[in-house]
Amino acid sequence: MRSTDIYLHFNGNSEMAFSFYRSIFGGEFIAAQRYKDVPGGDKMNDDDQEKMMHISLKITPYTTLMASDIVNKDDSNFGAGNNFHICLHAENEKDADKLFNALSNEGRIEMPMNKTFWGAYFGMCQDKFGIQWMINFTYPQTN
Protein backbone atom coordinates (compact mmCIF):
# COMPACT_ATOMS: atom_id res chain seq x y z
CA MET A 1 0.00 0.00 0.00
CA ARG A 2 1.32 3.43 -0.94
CA SER A 3 -0.63 5.75 1.33
CA THR A 4 -3.81 6.36 3.30
CA ASP A 5 -5.94 9.49 2.98
CA ILE A 6 -9.19 10.83 4.43
CA TYR A 7 -12.22 11.24 2.15
CA LEU A 8 -15.10 13.35 3.47
CA HIS A 9 -18.67 13.69 2.15
CA PHE A 10 -20.74 16.84 2.40
CA ASN A 11 -24.31 17.81 1.69
CA GLY A 12 -23.48 20.53 -0.85
CA ASN A 13 -20.94 22.59 1.10
CA SER A 14 -17.62 20.83 0.44
CA GLU A 15 -16.21 23.88 -1.36
CA MET A 16 -16.94 26.08 1.66
CA ALA A 17 -15.52 23.47 4.03
CA PHE A 18 -12.34 23.10 1.99
CA SER A 19 -11.81 26.86 1.86
CA PHE A 20 -11.99 26.73 5.65
CA TYR A 21 -9.52 23.80 5.81
CA ARG A 22 -7.15 25.57 3.43
CA SER A 23 -7.22 28.64 5.69
CA ILE A 24 -6.02 26.40 8.52
CA PHE A 25 -3.60 24.02 6.76
CA GLY A 26 -2.46 26.23 3.87
CA GLY A 27 -1.55 24.79 0.50
CA GLU A 28 -3.33 24.67 -2.81
CA PHE A 29 -6.12 22.51 -4.09
CA ILE A 30 -4.80 19.54 -6.04
CA ALA A 31 -8.15 19.02 -7.76
CA ALA A 32 -11.55 20.70 -7.83
CA GLN A 33 -14.03 19.02 -10.19
CA ARG A 34 -17.74 19.72 -10.35
CA TYR A 35 -20.36 17.17 -11.35
CA LYS A 36 -21.11 19.21 -14.48
CA ASP A 37 -17.57 18.48 -15.70
CA VAL A 38 -17.81 14.67 -15.62
CA PRO A 39 -19.39 12.31 -18.17
CA GLY A 40 -23.17 12.49 -17.77
CA GLY A 41 -22.99 15.52 -15.49
CA ASP A 42 -24.92 17.62 -17.99
CA LYS A 43 -27.97 15.41 -17.34
CA MET A 44 -28.10 16.34 -13.65
CA ASN A 45 -30.25 19.14 -12.27
CA ASP A 46 -28.60 22.58 -12.18
CA ASP A 47 -27.99 22.56 -8.40
CA ASP A 48 -26.28 19.15 -8.46
CA GLN A 49 -24.14 20.12 -11.48
CA GLU A 50 -22.49 22.86 -9.40
CA LYS A 51 -21.65 20.55 -6.48
CA MET A 52 -18.15 19.14 -6.06
CA MET A 53 -17.62 15.69 -7.53
CA HIS A 54 -14.08 15.73 -6.10
CA ILE A 55 -11.92 18.25 -4.29
CA SER A 56 -8.56 17.59 -2.65
CA LEU A 57 -6.09 19.50 -0.52
CA LYS A 58 -2.62 18.25 0.44
CA ILE A 59 -2.34 18.90 4.19
CA THR A 60 1.05 17.22 4.79
CA PRO A 61 3.64 15.70 2.46
CA TYR A 62 2.02 12.33 3.23
CA THR A 63 -1.69 13.10 3.67
CA THR A 64 -4.34 14.49 1.38
CA LEU A 65 -7.77 15.58 2.56
CA MET A 66 -10.36 14.83 -0.13
CA ALA A 67 -14.12 15.26 -0.44
CA SER A 68 -17.24 15.22 -2.57
CA ASP A 69 -20.80 16.47 -2.22
CA ILE A 70 -23.63 13.97 -2.14
CA VAL A 71 -26.21 14.52 -4.82
CA ASN A 72 -29.11 12.49 -3.43
CA LYS A 73 -30.63 14.72 -0.75
CA ASP A 74 -33.16 11.97 0.04
CA ASP A 75 -30.39 9.75 1.44
CA SER A 76 -31.57 9.38 5.03
CA ASN A 77 -28.46 7.35 5.88
CA PHE A 78 -26.14 10.35 5.37
CA GLY A 79 -24.94 12.05 8.50
CA ALA A 80 -22.25 12.41 11.12
CA GLY A 81 -20.37 9.17 11.52
CA ASN A 82 -20.91 7.87 8.00
CA ASN A 83 -19.85 10.96 6.07
CA PHE A 84 -16.29 9.78 5.45
CA HIS A 85 -14.25 6.98 3.90
CA ILE A 86 -10.70 5.92 4.59
CA CYS A 87 -8.99 5.90 1.19
CA LEU A 88 -6.21 3.34 0.65
CA HIS A 89 -3.89 3.82 -2.33
CA ALA A 90 -2.72 0.46 -3.62
CA GLU A 91 0.55 -0.38 -5.40
CA ASN A 92 -1.24 -2.19 -8.28
CA GLU A 93 -4.57 -3.77 -9.26
CA LYS A 94 -3.74 -7.06 -7.53
CA ASP A 95 -3.01 -5.22 -4.26
CA ALA A 96 -6.23 -3.22 -4.69
CA ASP A 97 -8.28 -6.39 -5.18
CA LYS A 98 -6.67 -8.04 -2.15
CA LEU A 99 -7.46 -5.05 0.09
CA PHE A 100 -11.00 -4.68 -1.30
CA ASN A 101 -11.87 -8.38 -0.97
CA ALA A 102 -10.55 -8.59 2.59
CA LEU A 103 -12.30 -5.40 3.76
CA SER A 104 -15.64 -6.15 2.07
CA ASN A 105 -15.78 -9.74 3.35
CA GLU A 106 -18.92 -9.99 5.53
CA GLY A 107 -19.48 -6.27 4.87
CA ARG A 108 -21.21 -4.41 2.04
CA ILE A 109 -19.93 -3.50 -1.41
CA GLU A 110 -20.91 0.07 -2.33
CA MET A 111 -19.07 0.19 -5.66
CA PRO A 112 -17.23 -2.87 -7.04
CA MET A 113 -13.60 -2.51 -8.12
CA ASN A 114 -13.56 -1.22 -11.67
CA LYS A 115 -11.64 1.02 -14.06
CA THR A 116 -12.89 4.62 -13.91
CA PHE A 117 -13.10 7.56 -16.29
CA TRP A 118 -10.53 9.42 -14.14
CA GLY A 119 -7.79 6.86 -14.79
CA ALA A 120 -7.96 4.72 -11.68
CA TYR A 121 -8.96 1.24 -10.59
CA PHE A 122 -11.37 2.05 -7.78
CA GLY A 123 -13.99 0.58 -5.46
CA MET A 124 -15.88 1.38 -2.26
CA CYS A 125 -17.07 -0.89 0.50
CA GLN A 126 -18.12 -0.99 4.12
CA ASP A 127 -16.46 -3.53 6.38
CA LYS A 128 -18.34 -5.76 8.82
CA PHE A 129 -17.82 -3.14 11.56
CA GLY A 130 -19.46 -0.33 9.54
CA ILE A 131 -16.24 1.50 8.54
CA GLN A 132 -16.34 2.84 4.98
CA TRP A 133 -13.35 2.29 2.69
CA MET A 134 -12.22 3.46 -0.74
CA ILE A 135 -9.58 1.41 -2.52
CA ASN A 136 -7.72 3.21 -5.29
CA PHE A 137 -4.96 2.38 -7.74
CA THR A 138 -4.08 5.22 -10.11
CA TYR A 139 -2.69 4.03 -13.41
CA PRO A 140 0.69 5.51 -14.37
CA GLN A 141 0.30 8.27 -16.93
CA THR A 142 1.85 7.61 -20.28
CA ASN A 143 2.90 10.34 -22.69
Which whole number is the average pLDDT over 98-123? 94
CATH class of 81-143: alpha beta
Which pLDDT band holds residue 143 (cuts at 50, 70, 90)? low
Average pLDDT along the chain:
88
Which pLDDT band holds residue 122 (cuts at 50, 70, 90)? very high
Which whole number is the average pLDDT over 104-129? 93
Q: How far apart are CA 93 and CA 97, in angstroms?
A: 6
Q: Where are the domains of the chain?
A: 10-74, 81-143
Which whole number is the average pLDDT over 11-15? 90
What is the per-residue pLDDT across 56-103, written as a single tens digit (0 to 9) for each?
999 888 889 999 998 865 555 666 667 888 999 899 999 999 999 999
The pLDDT of residue 110 is above 90 = yes
C-alpha distance from residue 139 to each of 54, 93, 127, 134, 136 (Å): 18, 9, 25, 16, 10
